[in-house]
């Protein structure tokens, strides 16, 4: 392995071992870039398939299909590029959950984080006056938007990378689950 290979590995390790409070943001970027890549890959294959290798085939129909495919694909790609831009904006925007807690506030809270059940490490106090470790809060807010103790809303928006499921199977399952919940609420089941 050369020096460049070692440098690449070290760079990759530094990205993967990003600070805990921004790891989810990196996952969002990776997810959006992979979706963009998945959208770009089949373009050449479809162009060849639509136009065909046989010169006797109808170029008029192929041309119309190519135009329609290109139009639809361009809308899809524009949407994916917009998603990548939003993900980059999320990455560049710092997320704060509260302010640093004083030693007095920590002692009032019992000097133990309610999430990890250990002594506070870089404690933050939320608007609801509950104190937690910063790392614990970041991990909690990757999934929830409420205080772990009193359930008061503390984060404006739930992060869009919360479960990381991008496959159609998981999305279909989530859609069916949401529809079942709606039916249960409507009919009181």
C-alpha 40/C-alpha 70 separation (Å) is 11
Per the domain annotation, does 104 fall within a domain? no
Q: Does residue 77 lie within any of the structural domains?
A: yes
Residue 175 structure tokens:
């859609």
The pLDDT tens digits for 38-83 are 999 998 888 888 877 665 667 788 888 889 999 999 999 999 999 8
Handedness of CA 117, 122, 123, 125 (dihedral sign): negative
Question: 146 — phi, psi (to 5°)?
Answer: -120, 165
Q: How many domains does the chain have?
A: 1
| 139 occurs within a structural domain | no
Task: Give a yes or no: residue 23 inside a domain.
Answer: yes
- Given pLDDT bands bounded at 50, 70 and 90, which one contains residue 147? confident
Tokens of 166: 């991008």
Token pair of 58, please? Answer: 């109808």
Q: Establish if 48 belongs to a structural domain.
A: yes
Instruction: Decide: residue 32, CB within 10 A, 0-12 exposed, 13-18 middle, 19+ buried.
Output: buried
- 151-172 per-position pLDDT tens digit: 887 765 544 544 445 544 445 5
- For position 18, what pLDDT does the model report? 44
For the segment 101-138, what is each residue's pLDDT rounded down to a tens digit?
A: 888 888 888 888 888 888 888 888 888 888 888 888 87
Q: Work out the end-to-end distance of the chain between its first and last CA atoms, rounded to an integer number of angstroms.
A: 63
SS3 (DSSP) at 109:
coil
- Is residue 155 in some structural domain? no
What is the spatial distance between Cα 61 and Cα 189, in angstroms, rounded to a whole number? 53
Place 139 in a pLDDT band, splitting at 50, 70 and 90. confident
Helices marked H in the chain — which ranges?
A: 3-16, 23-40, 43-51, 59-92, 103-108, 134-141, 168-187
pTM for this structure?
Answer: 0.54
What's 172's DSSP letter? H
Within a domain: 35: yes
Q: Are 91 and 18 in contact (CB under 8 A)?
A: no
Cβ-contact 36, 84 below 8 angstroms: yes
**Cβ pair 141, 97 in contact under 8 A:** yes
pLDDT of residue 107: 85
Tokens 């998981």 — which residue? 170
Residue 64: domain span:
3-92
Query: What pLDDT was estimated at residue 136?
Result: 84
The answer to whether residue 27 sits within a structural domain is yes
Residues 115 and 131: their CA atoms lie apart, in Å, by: 10
């Amino acid at each position: 392995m050369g020096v460049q290979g070692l440098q690449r590995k070290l760079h990759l390790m530094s990205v993967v071992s990003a600070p805990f409070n921004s790891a989810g943001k990196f996952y969002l970027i990776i997810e959006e870039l992979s979706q963009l890549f998945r959208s770009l890959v089949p373009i050449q294959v479809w162009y060849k398939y639509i136009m065909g290798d046989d010169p006797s085939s109808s170029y008029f129909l192929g041309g119309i299909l190519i135009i329609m495919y290109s139009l639809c694909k361009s809308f899809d790609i524009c949407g994916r590029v917009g998603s990548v831009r939003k993900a980059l904006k999320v990455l560049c925007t710092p997320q704060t959950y509260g302010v640093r807690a004083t030693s007095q506030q920590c002692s009032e809270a019992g000097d133990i984080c309610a999430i990890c059940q250990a002594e506070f490490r870089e404690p933050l106090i939320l608007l609801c006056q509950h104190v937690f470790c910063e790392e614990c809060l970041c991990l909690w807010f990757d999934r929830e938007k409420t205080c772990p103790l009193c359930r008061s809303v503390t984060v404006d928006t739930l992060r869009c990378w919360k479960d990381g499921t991008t496959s159609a199977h998981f999305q279909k399952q989530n859609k069916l689950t949401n529809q079942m919940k709606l039916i249960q609420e409507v009919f009181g089941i």
